[in-house]
Structure 1
């Protein structure tokens, strides 16, 4: 898992928790399995969100696509 991939996953989890959305509810809204959300959030697994997921997450969380990415690139 790269730094930027982990950053995106952490951002999604943080936004999910801030809004009180369960993994199951997010999975339903995103039209993926609950296991996929759990696998993304568990560092033991390599599952990650793709750009289409992030676009849909921006709609779900009513935020900008850019809100899921760091302000500057990682080294």
Structure 2
């Protein structure tokens, strides 16, 4: 599942990144494989997506979120 498909309020674990170009930018923001994130909100048209990563709030473009493969944590 891709990050942009995760519902608001759900937690997920990052599994991998699909594009190398986006990968480095996301690493600099603290998005690493096996890190748990929580989707806090989405703008009305789905862009940007607001997530929490280790007590840090991050806004991602939908195009960036489409490159992050995650697994939902129940």
Using structure 2 for the length normalisation, give the TM-score.
Answer: 0.33
- Which structure carries more strand by proportion? 2
Higher relative contact order (CA 8 A, sep 6+): 2
Using structure 1 for the length normalisation, give the TM-score.
Answer: 0.33
